[in-house]
Chain A
Amino acid sequence: MMRIPFSYIWRSLWARRLTTTLTLGGLALVVFVFAGVLMLAQGLQKTLVDTGSSDNVIVLRRAAGSELVSQIDRGMASVLETQPEVAVAQDGRPLLSREMVVVINLYKKTTNSMSNVTVRGVSPQALELRPGFHIVEGKPLQFGTHEIVVGRNIATRFKGVALGTEVPFAGDRWTVVGIADAGGTGFDSEIWADGDQVMQAFGRPVYSSATFRLRDAGSFDAVKARLQRDPRAQSLELKREQAFYREQSLPMATFITKLGIVVTIIFSIGAMIGAMITMYAAVANRVVEVGTMRALGFQRRSILVAFLAESMVLAIAGGAAGIGLASLLSFARVSTLNFASFSEVGFGFALSPGVITRAMIFAVVMGVAGGFLPAVRAARLNIVNALRAA
């Protein structure tokens, strides 16, 4: 089979620059939206899943979907501390943080509207338990005082929160002594304080949750099984921290993905039609050319391949342009109310190889689907009629 040289395809596209550009622009916009939605869902999931670590276990009250509605009393927390699977902290105490999670309102800098922010009252072990949580400015909080450490997102997004300022809540003033970087995880959107102080200020006698490190990551099932048999721990539910945060991301990620899929399906139909219009026009404009090529001895199959290749080139270029545009999004950070934790969580658009692959496949499929029928029409042209068409 005689192949039509690639330069023919290239020059055909170049000869109709404006049409080519318009089609390419349309494809690029569609891929941009598709990739953007994937990146958003990915970014949210990554933020929340990375929040948990695989050898930490979070304990909540049974059927409590979030820390906000969970309650664990002091007695139960002590039962947990005595489990042999709990790792030991540097100071020799069990590496377990009893935590109290509440939500307060702060004003956003940009919109001046109120938003929900998680306040996490922690035990001194919390920092050792979450090695990803680094103080980047200031110092760690002093336990027994009203000092707080705020996540990066809180410091940048909310009014009146900076090193040295006092944040009023629960009838008290709390001094910001440190700003923490939690590596883009959910803790970046939290305020940390001394758990006992928070409980006192809010007048709550019980903890929300307890988190501990496993001495050995494989012993999760063992501790879970033992506690299930323990009559004192019947109301508890153990989850791996990572699994817990994955669940937390589920409502929002499902929402973004569902909406995104609907939008992109509609979009891709539009883009396919756009590619089809361009390719049909390309065929119609080149009837004589196709006739000449056939007369020169090129086979129907070569013509089909040439036109398909032309639309593929369009699609690949459009896809690359769209992904290029979308990659600019990774500089943007957004925040939204996470339905599960009822507080605002900041996250970015995450461009992963998976997203790029999926966006590229999407573009190529659009190109092939849009170019196939026009290419078939070109291949089926009758030589004599085609040459006469002028």
Chain B
Amino acid sequence: MKLVKIVLKNLFRHRLRTILTMLGIATAVMAFGLIRTVVGAWNAGVAASAANRMITRQSVSFIFPLPLPYRQQIARIPGVTGVSWANWFGGVYGDPNDFNDFWPRFAVDAETFYDLYPEYQVPADQLAQFRKERNACIIGRKLAAKHGFKIGDVITMEGDIFPGRWEWVVRGIYTGRDQTVDETQMHFQWNYLYEQVQQREPGRPVDAGWFILRVEPSDAMPRVATAVDEQFVNSRAPTKTETERAFQQGFVAMSSAIITSLQVISVVIVGIILLVLANTILMAVRERTREYAVLKTLGFSARHLIVLIFGESLLIAACGGLIGLALTFPMVAGFGQAMQAFFPIINVAPRTIALALSAALVSGIIAAFFPTVRVVRTPIVAGLRTVG
């Protein structure tokens, strides 16, 4: 108990320095939390993918479409309990160079899409209305909030892949089942896309961008993948079928350089936490060399001194870490708002919290280690002789 009191007293001897050190650690922990969260947000698509879905796309590249009749052939394969399809629409809304005006727009099959994606929750009456009207669309809750779209509003944009002026009426707003679901998408009827293109550019084929397969049980997936791909291997449009997770990972892997650099930065931050803390502890211990010698003469053992120094270091690290964590949440929220186009889903993961706190605490231990060794090894006489 006495030792705790001494630790606290020591802590408040240089109040300004202690507070500054805590703040220094807090900012570093906050940066660490933010960067880990950004890396997590990058992987959000992978994390959100369902265990029972597979994606079939054109084998050369995702940008080439697949003939729509493939869906009947895919549906006949044992294990496949549902098939839907979608197309990337692209399009330019507002200012083409302003990323706040960008969100993912998909042409989806109105009948099957939401069955395969139960995480997009649409009220039943809105879904029924969406299915009835050709030019209806359903948008995510965050997208609606950001641009102030309400049910009944008309969204207009210029097409790029499918040229011309396009208009949709908002007939539904979906909410995510949980916070890992992207709520910034827009879905509209694939049939509308098909009919419009037929009218505007007669003769231009409109196919499916990719197929979404629901497979049960999940251990049938490798077999289904082979069965689907073998069926089309000699056709004009050979396919590649993979789990939704692998499909999403493919996108992440292409930007792996950015993720690696972010991870390097997060390691550098831990180094900075360590340097700030080590500096403070070192200064504190140096100033108190004589005191420690006095304590030793009074009969305090090496163990007591270890507790004193480590206690102070860990206490500063813990306080700094907690303040930093508390700041991380508003920081991530603000950052997520500013970068919504890049990171539709951004949440602080429990793992990030644990990592940030342990980084601070481990720094606390390392920072205290060398000064402690020095204090314990310094002979009493030498310590008493030291001029501060």
Contacts and interface: CB of A to CB of B under 8 A. Distances in A.
Question: A and B: real partners?
Answer: yes
Interface of A: 18-19, 22-23, 25-26, 29-30, 32-33, 36, 40, 61-65, 68-71, 102-105, 108, 111, 113-116, 169-171, 202-203, 235, 247, 250-251, 254-256, 258-259, 262-263, 266-267, 269-271, 273-274, 276-278, 280-281, 284-285, 334-337, 342, 344
Contacts of B238: 171
B63 A22 contact: no
Contact of B97 (A108, A171, A202, A247): A247
Given A105-B59, A113-B256, A269-B27, 11 more contacts: A22-B278, A33-B265, A33-B268, A61-B163, A102-B61, A254-B99, A255-B342, A266-B31, A267-B28, A334-B258, A336-B257
Interface string B13-28: 0101100110110011
Q: How large is the interface on B (under 10, 10 to 19, 20 to 34, 35 or more residues)?
A: 35 or more
B261 interface: yes
B34 interface: yes
Nearest to B250: A114
Among A235, A266, A278, A334, max chain B CB count under 10 A is at A266
Contacts of B249: 113
Contacts of B63: 68, 102-103, 342
B163 A258 contact: no
B282 A64 contact: no
A40 B261 contact: yes
Contact of B163 (A33, A235, A281): A235
Contact of A25 (B21, B250, B275): B275
Contacts of B224: none
B82 interface: no
Contacts of A30: 272
B308 interface: no
16 contacts: A19-B279, A22-B275, A22-B282, A25-B275, A63-B159, A70-B160, A102-B61, A104-B61, A114-B253, A171-B236, A263-B34, A267-B28, A274-B276, A277-B280, A280-B16, A334-B257
B244 to A, nearest CB: 15
Interface string B49-68: 00000000001111110000
A69 B276 contact: no
A104 to B, nearest CB: 5
A29 B160 contact: no
Contact of B282 (A19, A40, A114, A171): A19
Among B90, B238, B251, B256, max chain A CB count under 10 A is at B256
A322 to B, nearest CB: 11
Q: Is the interface of A mostly helix, strand, loop or mixed?
A: helix
Among A40, A262, A334, A335, max chain B CB count under 10 A is at A262
B61 A105 contact: yes
Contacts of A271: 272
A7 to B, nearest CB: 22
Contact of B30 (A61, A255, A266, A281): A266
Interface in B254-271: 254-258, 260-261, 265, 268-269, 271
A342 B24 CA distance: 40
Interface string B229-242: 00000001010000
A116 B335 contact: no
A29 B283 contact: no
B293 interface: no
B339 interface: yes
Contacts of B90: 65, 69
B60 A104 contact: yes
Contacts of B34: 262-263, 266
Given A29-B272, A266-B30, A337-B254, A273 B163 contact: no
B336 to A, nearest CB: 11
Nearest to B334: A262
Contacts of A344: 254
B61 A116 contact: yes
Interface in B132-169: 158-161, 163
Given A113-B253, A263-B31, A344-B254, A29 B271 contact: yes
A46 to B, nearest CB: 16
A318 to B, nearest CB: 11
Contacts of B20: 273, 276-277, 280
Nearest to B90: A69
In the A-B complex, list the 7 residue pairs whose CB atoms are closest, starting with the nearest.
A337-B254, A334-B257, A273-B24, A113-B253, A270-B27, A26-B275, A266-B31
A111 to B, nearest CB: 6
A173 B61 CA distance: 16
Contacts of A270: 24, 27-28, 31, 272, 276
Contacts of B251: 337
Interface string B304-333: 000000000000000000000000000100
Contacts of A202: 60, 64
A277 B279 contact: yes
B302 interface: no
A33 B263 CA distance: 12
B338 interface: yes
Interface string B185-217: 000000000000000000000000000000000
A384 to B, nearest CB: 20
Nearest to A274: B276
Interface in B92-134: 92, 96-97, 99
Given A22-B279, A170-B60, A342-B63, A203 B272 contact: no
A40 B283 CA distance: 37
B38 interface: yes
B35 interface: yes
B126 to A, nearest CB: 30
A33 B266 CA distance: 10
Contacts of B287: 285
Contact of A277 (B21, B38, B256, B269): B21
A23 B279 contact: yes
Nearest to B388: A285
A256 B99 CA distance: 14
B265 A263 contact: yes
Given A69-B160, A270-B27, A36 B97 contact: no
Contact of B338 (A114, A256, A258, A337): A258
A169 B60 contact: yes
A284 B254 CA distance: 53
B331 to A, nearest CB: 8
Contacts of A115: 253-254
Nearest to A344: B254
A281 B283 contact: yes
Given A32-B268, A266-B31, A335-B257, A64 B160 contact: yes
Contacts of A256: 258
Contact of B61 (A61, A103, A251, A337): A103
A377 B342 CA distance: 46
